[in-house]
Structure 1
Amino acid sequence: MTSAFPPLKNDLLLRAARGEETERAPVWVMRQAGRYLPEFHEVRAHHSFFEVCRTPALSMELTLQPIRRYAGLIDAAIIFSDILVVPQAMGMEVQMNPGPYFPDPLVTPADVEKLTKHVDVDKELGYVYEAITITRKALDGQVPLIGFCGAPWTLFSYMIEGGGTKTFQKSKTWLFKYPEESKALLMRIADVCVDFLVGQIKAGAQLVQVFDSWAGELAPHDFEQFSLPYLKHIATNVRSKLAAAQIPAVPMTLFPKGANTALASLAEHAGYDVIGIDWCIEPSEARRLVSDKVALQGNMDPNVLYGGKDAIEREAKRMCEGFKGGKSVKGWIANLGHGITPGRPGRPPLVLRMCAQILD
């Protein structure tokens, strides 16, 4: 399969993800193909959100937009899709108006019967695979292409809450009132995620990321029960399925937003090559916790981008020095600590590339 794609000209991201020393930190931005770009709005004016996700040519176009606009400043592309395509594949309706909305969420464990019992992931999500393949070819080896999925706990929350939430009352009620049923559903989601990531890698993804956006909403002991086992299940089984199919493994990144108390445990037990961190922990402390077991990704607060040139330069330098720790650049991917916000801040990839250059 690899031979069908143009040779990769910039492998900085992949080397950093493997923990290698690099000449500078590679740069990409979570949600870099998104609402802060005027060309994104031009496409969205004519197409609904999930129409774009399900149309490979449109997904490719939005994936390539930041690569074109910031040519030479971004070291990776991430396929334009959404974590909620997994609940859709499992038989749930998901709308965007404007945020995610489930008209028929799971209310009690009996509602799990409404889900598709045996999900044909390749059939249900084949449009993502097609988008990855044509985008990988269109990139012409400029930068690697990232695939992704949501983590089981995060997807579980959306499926039960029916959308975004500030309290997580409904989903946590399940954890505390129906712990075994919750674990069974989390494992069903994890199995779909495994097949989905394997399919993305087969289609051409060169690194995959698992977004546990709500990891920090769990108490440490609940995270150990209701998130970590399923994150580990994904990493272990993606690699075993690739090995069985004689397909080379790719680096895997975990972004457990807010779960900073679990970093040491994640580095030791979760099985990922890279852990993304948010801005609520100092880079030097994160490195101390994970040692050299994994590479790190992050961790500028996206709102710094609205603070003006002086603030951006100050925070960029501080972040860089924190990751550098007096040593050469090793095992660090420069990124924001979460996705870029919908507004129109200054050129975010340029800011992060400036971070990398501080360390030259």
Structure 2
Amino acid sequence: MPDFPPLQNDLILRVARGESTRRTPVWMMRQAGRYLPEYQAVRAEHEFFDVVGTPELAAEVTIQPIDRFDLDAAIIFSDILVIPQALGLEVQMVKGKGPHFPNPVREPSELSRLTDDPDVHEELGHVYDALTLTRKELNGRVPLIGFSGAPWTLMGYMIEGGGSKNYKKARAWLYEAPEAAHRLLQKTTDVIIEYLIGQVDAGAQMLQVFDSWAGLLGPKTFRTFALPYLKQIAEGVKEAHPEVPLVVFAKGAHYALEDLVETEYDVIGLDWTMDPKAARLVVGERVTLQGNLDPCMLYGDEETIRRAVQDMLAGFGSHRHIANLGHGMHPDHDPEHARVFVDSVHEVSEQMRHV
């Protein structure tokens, strides 16, 4: 592992491990990206996947929000769809439409098109290089988070060919071709485990697994086609790096809390539709919770955002909570409203601890 500068702010890592701290740490999903004018300036000259694939540009974009806001973590600028790319599928980022697969995996018979046992370090070495460079350029200011998409969510994109409201083509596989679905999920899981271990080796100090479309599965289907693979990922990464906190964000899967708390993830992310108090009753102090302000709350005025932060922090309580949004930043968010969110978390959480 490269030699990195000493860490000056380990707040988020300590909270992930269950330690008490002077305030609640805060970061924002999609904090590096489209709502920032400095990011837009980079994108004016470079295509999306060129930024992802160029370590110097990825590092620059990752650090932009750290320079602007008093955040407690950076998250590497990349994309969950680099895994399908490593498996041999072409992915394009189409302006105004989002991710697009020109040739998705439509039928179980097409699984043979996917690369068997891809060389992850060869295919995704640009992410590792970006992590190492970013970690050095952060100079210990805050920890660096790495991430991956979850197997079910990636399967949805690979079969559907892009974004979808219901991912019905992918969900149909679960019932029409369950054996093929499990083969695809396992193949993806194996790559994800190797990818995440490599991210830690390259400099990531915390990892998050995004299961963005978990909420489209019912409880039984989730336990069959999502949970076993999420567990494998946590176990595989922890075997290699037991010291690195793991976060799982299964958006919309309210029913999954009890199952997820029994896995080796240290942190469970909640979306904005979930009640923090109810979640705390389920998980207790067994794990740290992360979230969950409605991103659309950032369209409100300063006082609205501050009140929302107060309510959120009161709901989670002052222990084992990482403040975040319930999903990512929107492209038309005002950066100054993001600043109000971050600063309010600092102020309110410190006040709560001194009451």
90, 113, 130: which one pairs with 1:93? 90
Task: Give distance in 2, aligned partners of 1:321 and 1:298.
Answer: 12
- Check whether the contact 2:306–2:340 (CA below 8 A) recurs between aligned residues: no
Contact 2:145 2:207 in 1 (8 A): yes
Indicate the residue corresponding to 2:310 in structure 1.
317
**Secondary structure in structure 2 of the residue aligned to 1:116:** coil
Amino acid at match of 2:237: V
Is structure 2 residue 72 aligned with structure 1 residue 78? no
SS of residue in 1 equivalent to 2:148: strand
Gaps of 5+ in 2: 351-355
SS of the residue aligned with 1:334?
Answer: strand
CA distance in 1, matches of 2:37, 2:75: 18
Q: Is the 8 A contact 2:62 2:75 kept in 1?
A: yes
Q: Does 1:263 align with 2:253?
A: no
Matches within 5 A, 1:226-237: 226-237=225-236
Q: Take 1:38 and 1:356, find their aligned partners in 2: how far apart are those partners?
A: 24
Task: Work out the CA distance in 1 between the residues paired with 2:288 and 2:189.
Answer: 23
Equivalent residues in 2 for 1:211-222, closer than 5 Å = 211-222=210-221
Which residue does the alignment assign to 2:206? 207
Deviations 1:98-124 (A, max 9, x none): 200000001111100000012110110
**Aligned match of 1:252:** 246
Corresponding residue of 1:288: 281
Separation in structure 1 between the aligned mates of residue 313 and residue 346 of structure 2, nearest angstrom: 7
In structure 1, the residue matched to 2:330 is 341
SS in 2 for 1:96: strand
Q: Percent identity?
A: 54
CA distance in 2, matches of 1:347, 1:199: 35
* TM superposition score normalised by structure 2: 0.96
- Measure the CA separation in 1 of the matches of 2:286 and 2:237: 19
CA shift, 1:169, in A, is 1.2
Q: Is the 8 Å Cα contact of residues 298 and 333 (structure 2) preserved in structure 1?
A: no
Match of 1:303 in 2: 296
1:28·1:349 contact (CA, 8 Å) conserved in 2?
Answer: no
Q: Is 1:353 equivalent to 2:334 in the alignment?
A: no
Question: Structure 1: which 4+ aligned runs deviate by more than 4 Å?
Answer: none
CA contact (8 A) 2:302 2:337 kept: no
CA contact 1:214–1:257 (8 Å) conserved in 2: yes
How far residue 347 of structure 1 moved from its aligned partner, in angstroms, is 3.1
TM-score by length of 1: 0.94
Aligned amino acid, residue 143 of structure 1: V
Q: How many residues align?
A: 347
Residues 239 and 249, structure 1, Cα contact 8 Å, conserved in 2: yes
Which one-letter code corresponds to 1:264 in the other structure?
A: E
**8 A contact 1:29–1:349 mirrored in 2:** no
